[in-house]
Amino acid sequence: MLRFACAAIVLGAVLLGVAQAAEPPVQTGDPFKRGLTQADFPRLKQIEPGIYTYEALRTIEPRGFKTTVDLIVVTGDGVLVADGQGTESAGRDLVAAITRITPQPIKYVVICSEHGDHTGGNAAFKAAFPSVTFISSPTSQKALAKSANPPTETVADRRALTLGKTTLNILNLGRSHTGGDLAVEVPGRVLFLSETYVHRLFPSLRAAYPSEWLATLAKAQKIDAAWYIAGHGFVDDAPTMKAELETYRQALTYVIGEATRLHAAKVPCLSPADCAAAQQANWGPYAEWTERENQAPVAILRVYQELDGKLP
């Protein structure tokens, strides 16, 4: 009898361990709340045959860290990378990670977000592969015209690109986080949305087009993909990433709605540093999202600018 009792205890402990191991990660953009450390990064993950994501940490002020995420598509005729990293050192780390998984050259870098944390390290691509081609939207090309490695090709609407046996689509789904966002699709498999989709970080609207962003997200959700990859945050399993895309759309809707309410109440927001509205805002379920403290005043101001017809 004692033998059976001991066996039951051991089996129970094993099952408990399996259950604990199977627990999904906490849904947050904060690496430390997920039980991760700086030593866990960068992280390279194969999500489909020949398709990888790369997560690197960068500092956010006044404290903490967040990830910048890239998509890597390896084919028999070269590599396409969607987005880069923010510094040349981080860019070299990304290039090194790619060269460890394939001898194929990096042929294309698609600039999905023109912001510095996605483009500041682009010189690393050029240094390692001098013939690499940078592709962006026409708007981002203008924004990056004076950069060290400006885009030489643009996509105003849609471009199909075939590398080996892999066909990819570079998509301009509309303005969202910037005026020139792009997405990269491997049909039926992956849709990389860069900063159009951010996983569990408070929406950053400093250069955004708020109402158009919601329309762009709606377009993205109509595209059939197994994986939806965000430009910041963590890459979890495919069902979670799809569900979190809708969670992010709801968060952005809420933020725009709350800023609109404050605007109607004539609560002032003159600048991110002088924004009474940020003190009176009710962020509901999004109050504890990563970067809320930094991003909320900026978001309110940007919505006010749209409502006042002052967006560029």
**What's the structural domain count of the chain?**
1
Q: Could you tell me if residue 260 is inside a domain?
A: no
In Å, how far from its chain's centre is CA 105?
A: 24
Q: Is 210 left (phi over 0), alpha (psi -120 to 50) or beta?
A: alpha
Structural domain that includes position 206: 32-239
* Single pTM value for the model: 0.92
Burial 89-106 (b: 16+ CB within 10 A, else e): ebbbbbbebbeeebebeb
Per-residue model confidence (pLDDT) at position 23: 73
Per-residue model confidence (pLDDT) at position 4: 41
Q: Could you tell me if residue 261 is inside a domain?
A: no
Identify the helix (H) or strand (E) that includes residue 107. Answer: strand 106-110
Q: Could you tell me if residue 289 is inside a domain?
A: no
Q: What is the CATH number of the domain that holds 148?
A: 3.60.15.10
149 touches 123 (CB < 8 A): yes
The pLDDT profile of the chain, 312 residues, written as one tens digit per residue, is: 444 444 444 344 433 444 344 577 899 999 999 999 999 999 999 999 999 999 999 887 656 789 999 999 999 999 999 999 999 999 999 999 999 999 999 999 999 999 999 999 999 999 999 999 999 999 999 999 999 999 999 999 999 999 999 999 999 999 999 999 999 999 999 999 999 999 999 999 999 999 999 999 999 999 999 999 999 999 999 999 999 999 999 999 999 999 999 999 999 999 999 999 999 999 999 999 999 999 999 999 999 999 999 998
The C-alpha atoms of residue 63 and residue 69 are separated, in whole angstroms, by 20
Per-residue model confidence (pLDDT) at position 209: 98
Residue 174: helix, strand or coil by DSSP? coil
Q: Could you tell me if residue 193 is inside a domain?
A: yes
Q: What is the DSSP string of 62-99?
A: SS-EEEEEEEEEEETTEEEEE---SSHHHHHHHHHHHH
Identify the helix (H) or strand (E) that includes residue 185. Answer: strand 183-186
Q: Could you tell me if residue 218 is inside a domain?
A: yes
Per-residue model confidence (pLDDT) at position 312: 84
Q: Could you tell me if residue 186 is inside a domain?
A: yes
Per-residue model confidence (pLDDT) at position 13: 43
Q: Could you tell me if residue 7 is inside a domain?
A: no
Q: Could you tell me if residue 274 is inside a domain?
A: no
